[in-house]
Amino acid sequence: MSEAAELGRAVAALRSGEPVAFPTETVYGLGADARNPAAVQRVFELKGRPSAHPLIVHLADAGHLDAWAERIPEPAHRLAARFWPGPLTLILPRAAGVLDVVTGGQQSIGLRVPSHPLARRLLEAFGGGIAAPSANRYGRVSPTTAAHVREEFGAELPIVLDGGPCSVGLESTIVSCLDEILVLRPGGIAVPELEAVVGPLRAARRGEGPRAPGTTLAHYAPRTPLKLAAGAAFEALAAEPRLAVLARHAPRVGFLGAAWLDAGEEATRYAHDLYANLRELDRLGAAAILVEAVPPGIEWDAVRDRLARAAAACDAEELA
């Protein structure tokens, strides 16, 4: 089937209240008509997502902002003008008529204009907002290819638009523009880039600011227990034969584990490949996945955040 025909099927499904999966530059999304409460509820059911966890509404362009948000502060307008389309989600005061099921009952809403060309064509053809979390079971590793989505949902999700591998590979940066401008989640846009537009920013402390996607302590986790380690501790654990390893260098001579993936030292490439690498290691049925901790530095912030949450979700104490 041609891309145009697939796109037509996806638009028809959205308009009839059915969910569809579609690519963005960050990860694949599981989308539904953001004005249809039953359709949005179906997304929560498919994912197994708690109802209090808000969704991000994806828009075709910033011209649709006023339909979804009100009292938009000037810094939010500047961020949207600079980074949309792109991997930035803005948390804003919700407009009248926005569904509680989309916002998790909060008086704020997360909005984003993705840059992936297929996502943009879908949004333009649909003509409305698409509420979409990542297209995976709740708390698990996000999908960066259509094949990952099909692995997660199979026949439960008949329409999966295939836009190839995601170019960024990690979720959007989330910035709250409510009482104070706060970074709720690091992601595809680094904080210094944001600060160049709106001045100094700070990261929200745990529990501060509105609830936002992907900010729970435990998230992004493979089914196989995952442990982070650095330096001598990592090298000692890497000698354990039951483990699958994700490192930033080649294996030592004599490595006897289940598998070793060298993700390299370049932060952008590491981020792009992270979820695909975790999925590959997760398929092996190893006793655990051992991940070499990434170095300090702004360029590693989003990766460090995802790995910390993945480790928090896994009972890795058996490795000690």
Cα four-point dihedral sign 64, 68, 72, 78: negative
Q: Distance from CA of residue 68 to its chain's centroid?
A: 21
Q: Tell whether 64 and 152 lie within a shared domain.
A: yes
Number of domains observed in the structure of the chain:
2
Answer whether residue 244 is part of any domain: yes
Please give the average per-residue pLDDT across 206-212, as a whole number.
89
Domain shared by 160 and 238, yes or no = no
**319 pLDDT above the threshold of 50:** no
What one-character-per-residue DSSP string does 163-224 give? Answer: --S-SS-SPPEEEEESSSEEEEE--SS-HHHHHHHH---EEPPTT-SS--TT-SSS-SB-SS
List, for residues 16-25, the tens digit of each pLDDT value: 999 999 999 9
Say if residue 235 is in the same domain as residue 197.
Answer: no
Confirm whether 89 is domain-assigned: yes
**pLDDT (tens digit per residue) in 137-196:** 999 999 999 999 999 999 999 999 999 999 999 999 999 999 899 999 999 999 999 999
Gyration radius of the chain's alpha carbons: 20
Give the tens place of pLDDT for each residue, 239-276: 888 899 999 999 988 888 899 999 999 999 999 999 99
Instruction: Tell me: pLDDT of 204 over 50.
Output: yes
We report the CATH number of the domain holding residue 195 as 3.90.870.10
CA distance 246 to 288: 11
Is pLDDT of 218 > 90? Answer: no
Q: What would the mean pLDDT of 198-212 be, rounded to a whole number? A: 91
Cβ-contact 142, 168 below 8 angstroms: no
Question: Burial of 35 by CB count in 10 Å (0-12 exposed, 13-18 middle, 19+ buried)?
Answer: middle
Q: Collapsing DSSP states into helix, strand and coil, what is residue 93? A: strand
Average pLDDT over residues 66-82: 96
Residues 71 and 178 in one domain: yes
Tokens read off for 126: 């649909």
